[in-house]
Amino acid sequence: MTLVTGHRGPAGDVAASALIEEDAARGTFRVHRSAMTSRDVFDQELERIFAHTWLYVGHESEIPEPGDYVRRPVAGRPVFMVRGAKSGQVNVFHNTCTHRGAVVCRRDRGNSKVFQCFYHAWTFDSEGSLVGVPGRDAYGEKFDMSSLGLARVARAESYRGFVFASFDPQVTDLVSYLGGAREYLDLVIDEADGQLQIISGTQEYGMQANWKLLVENSIDGYHAASTHDTYFKYLVSLGTDLSVGVSGVTKDLGNGHAVLEYLAPWGRPIARWEPLFGPEAKDEIGTLRARLVAQHGEERARRMCDLNRNMLIYPNLIINDIMAVTVRTFMPTSATSMAVTAWEAAPRDELPEVRQRRLDSFLTFLGPGGFATPDDIEALESCQQGFASGGVEWNDISRGMHRDPQATDEEQMRAFWRRWRDQMDGAR
Amino acid sequence: MTSILASSLAELTRGDVEDFLYREAELLDDWNLDDWLELFTADARYVIPCTGDPAGDPSRDLVLVDDDRLRLEARVERLNSRKAHREYPHSNVRHLVTNVRLGGITGDELPVRASFTVWRFRGGRETSYVGGYDYRLVMDESALKIRSKRVVLDMTVLRPAGDVAIIL
């Protein structure tokens, strides 16, 4: 599908304001499907969104010790995150030798005092300093090793363990950027007594669909009952009461971030029992719950224990605190495909039996081998195939515009799309 | 279905075990999942660690699949229904099993290792999965059964495969 006439600005760029049609009076919100199919839109997203926002790199619990590192792409660029041996701080470096370019961190994770480029053996320490150059005398006296350290990503900050980076030195500070999402992030972290840990094991999968479809899907409370029938059947077979349904609210958290917070039939390892956990877990979960009430008060503890949260941290980080906690990020590899990386987060010092229930609870629904995620993949790829048919130019994202948005409405998606439109049209 | 009839694990030849694994592959290729399930013991486990973490321990680490018998039955029921959208209609699958090696009997279990390629075709797309199987087989009322099937993938990421919605 090509861009329709009028979707280009004066400089020949994509005018995203023409791809989003919001009419508050009529209660309609539409997104032009070329936003999901156009190569020009994809190129402009890389330049105007991914080069200027904060992007999730990883979690500090992945690199607890000095010299611990993980390498991974951020916005498709190879970077690595290492805990400095001298500073104890998290460093995020461009993964490229300052000499001739080869990547210097060549394993996905590990611990190392130095990162040596194998090509000509230039060697960097965990703070990025160039500490070794074979045959240094060949460079003469003015050779300045201190200016040839590894390049830091323009900005890197951690919010209570969640490490973000930005390629834009002018980007606003992380706390301001997170805005209203902070409170919800705090809930997830405080549930774990501030000791949230990423569990070992990374799910790396992909879809033949535009990345923004996964933004929508990850915070979509409307599709659960229809798409995930087989998951709910499994819960029923174990004795779960589905009459609870999915009920709650959605919120625009500012800066493109959004959340839905709701009650759902499934259990929550943090402290909402369900038959899947087995009768022996009832007392223990009661104890967990009482502890959270004592620490955080009845109201906040109730949100932690009973309510689920699907949160988007704009543009591409999902933290879903549902039947388990998943941290998921994804990056477009073209207008019609994406790479997805997902982790599971949990309280660090959880009892082994609680951890086992959490792992079970995660896998039953989530991930590329779960009972639900594969059907989400199918849904998004199916949308992408449908777009190729043409004949229909617009997606409808109007659900709930005439009322206070419910968890099954689409206000959280509209929050994303409004920010996306503004950034694509030049807003920083 | 032909069962392997032998009074003890010690009598089994590699040929017997290969016949058993080929039968399992055939049932999966035919989407005869109800009969496939019967190859497993009541305390069976079916595990796929994450790519990049072949030693992943499902009691401690995030994996891709960790089914006990109950979840294995739920997986089969799901895949047999018309509501497992990723696999409705079903992919054409072909399980190629090779390099079968029998380990030494430990307790009541025979460890078996094998290599595999699983091909998956659907809607004009093809993907493949390559890796190793680690089985622990037992004699259950004089029929050979699978107590544990661990699938270790060689791919470093699930791309382009996308998911593991089929049974490997």
Average confidence (pLDDT) over B98-123: 97
In a domain, B132, yes or no: yes
Q: Which two tokens stand for residue A351?
A: 């009892």
Protein fold of A55-170: Rieske Iron-sulfur Protein (2.102.10)
Say whether B50 and A374 touch across the interface (CB within 8 A): no
pLDDT at site A80: 98
Say whether B59 and A352 touch across the interface (CB within 8 A): yes
In a domain, B109, yes or no: yes
CA atoms within 13 A on the CB side of A422: 13
Assign A235 a pLDDT band (cuts: 50, 70, 90): confident
In a domain, B83, yes or no: yes
Q: At what angle do helices A352-365 and A282-306 cross, to 10 degrees?
A: 50
Say whether A205 and B158 touch across the interface (CB within 8 A): yes
Average confidence (pLDDT) over A272-296: 87
- Among B47, B62, B129, which would you mutate to test the A interface (most chain A Cβ atoms within 10 Å of its Cβ)? B62
Sign of torsion over alpha carbons A412, A414, A417, A419: negative
Say whether B74 and A377 touch across the interface (CB within 8 A): no
CB-based contact, A278 to chain B, within 8 Å = no
pLDDT at site A225: 86
B29 C-beta neighbours (distance < 10 Å), count? 15
CB-based contact, A353 to chain B, within 8 Å = no
Assign A282 a pLDDT band (cuts: 50, 70, 90): confident
pLDDT at A370 over 90: yes
pLDDT at A2 over 80: no
pLDDT at site A394: 98
A6 C-beta neighbours (distance < 10 Å), count? 7
List of chain B residues whose C-beta atoms are within 8 Å of the C-beta of residue A207: 162
Q: For chain B, what is the total number of helices (H) and then of strands (E)?
A: 3, 6
Complex confidence, ipTM: 0.95
pLDDT at site A239: 86
pLDDT at B26 over 50: yes
Query: What pLDDT digit, counting tens, does each position of A67-118 carry?
Result: 999 999 999 999 999 999 999 999 999 999 999 999 999 999 999 999 999 9
The structural domain count of chain B equals: 1
Percent of chain B residues past pLDDT 70, beyond the cut: 96
List of chain A residues whose C-beta atoms are within 8 Å of the C-beta of residue B59: 352, 355-356, 359
Assign A4 a pLDDT band (cuts: 50, 70, 90): low
Q: What is the CATH number of the domain that holds B46?
A: 3.10.450.50
List of chain B residues whose C-beta atoms are within 8 Å of the C-beta of residue A229: 83
In chain A, residues under CATH classification 2.102.10.10 are 55-170
- Range of the structural domain that residue B73 is part of: 9-153
Amino acid at B128: S
Nearest CA in chain A to B55: A201
Identity of the residue in B52, B62, B165 whose CB atom sits nearest the CB atom of A199:
B62
CB-based contact, A379 to chain B, within 8 Å = yes
pLDDT at site B71: 94
Q: Which of A81, A105, A94 is nearest to A158 (CA)?
A: A81
Average confidence (pLDDT) over A260-282: 86
Task: Evaluate whether the domain defined by A179-424 bears CATH number 3.90.380.10.
Answer: yes
Q: How far is A260 from chain B (nearest CA, A)?
A: 25
Measured distance CA(B147)–CA(B64) in Å, rounded: 19
Query: What pLDDT digit, counting tens, does each position of A11-55 carry?
Result: 678 999 999 999 999 999 999 999 999 999 999 999 999 999 999
**DSSP per residue over A80-105, as a string?**
EEEE-TTT--EEEEESS-TTT---S-
Q: Which of A337, A319, A336, A339 is nearest to A328 (CA)?
A: A319
- Interface residues of B toward A, Cβ cutoff 8 Å, are 48-53, 56, 58-66, 71, 74-75, 77-78, 81, 83-87, 125, 156-165
In a domain, B39, yes or no: yes
CB environment A233-245: b (16+ within 10 A), e (fewer): bbbeeeebeeeee
List of chain A residues whose C-beta atoms are within 8 Å of the C-beta of residue B150: none
A279 C-beta neighbours (distance < 10 Å), count? 8
pLDDT at site A1: 47
Average confidence (pLDDT) over B42-63: 97
* Cβ within 8 Å of residue A203, ≥6 positions away: A340, A341, A342, A343, A367, A368, B50, B62, B64, B158
Query: What pLDDT digit, counting tens, does each position of A314-339 carry?
Result: 999 999 999 899 999 999 999 999 99
pLDDT at A279 over 50: yes
* Cβ within 8 Å of residue A236, ≥6 positions away: A242
